[in-house]
Amino acid sequence: MSRIGKLPVAVPEKVEVKITGNTVDVKGEKGALSFTFADCVAVKMEENNVIVSKLDDSGKALWGTTRAVIANMIEGVSAGYTKSLEINGVGYKFEVQGQKLILSIGFSHKVEMLVPTELKVTQDEKLKNVIHVSGIDKQMVGQFASKVKAKKKPEPYKGKGIKYVWEYVRRKAGKTGAK
């Protein structure tokens, strides 16, 4: 039994939710998102809440998922999502040029990544080794941040590579000298 699916999703004042058939459209001050849900669940508006219910037993698997996606859409158009990445290593750096992210991460060439138009990548004002990936779609922000991190994962001996700001890299001792 889904415990997440039972909870209603509160809609803030500046967010507009429209349900048409199997599509939920959410508009807010940051933008608009749309989601098509499965036939085995029902979505309806009651006052300032969105309520998701299952129609039959086949809807058990998608009941909580549908509710979570709608809640993420509402939070995205009202507040937005941000993931912060940190780069560590001698000579490692980020550059943002328009819709391109250029990484210097120890290869013989610079790695260029095209930033999706829905996302915004900015370099931190104080720390040169931190960038922020932000947008209204939680899945897209997380996926792009994950792709950037995958270009050079942090290694355990010196900690060089790209990691999330909150992430802790467990360090190893390395080689010991001859005895």
Q: Is 0.95 topped by the overall pTM?
A: no
Tell me the HSE value of 57 on the side-chain side, using a 13 A CA sphere.
0
Q: What is the per-residue pLDDT for 34? A: 94
Q: What is the per-residue pLDDT for 78? A: 93
Q: What is the per-residue pLDDT for 2? A: 60
CATH of domain 81-164: 3.90.930.12
Query: Which stretches of the chain score pLDDT less than 50?
Result: none
The CATH architecture of the domain made up of 9-78 is Alpha-Beta Complex (3.90)
> What is the residue extent of each domain of the chain?
9-78, 81-164
Same fold, 9-78 and 81-164: yes
Q: What is the per-residue pLDDT for 50? A: 92
Q: What is the per-residue pLDDT for 177? A: 59
> For residues 45 and 26, what is the distance between their CA atoms, to the nearest angstrom?
12
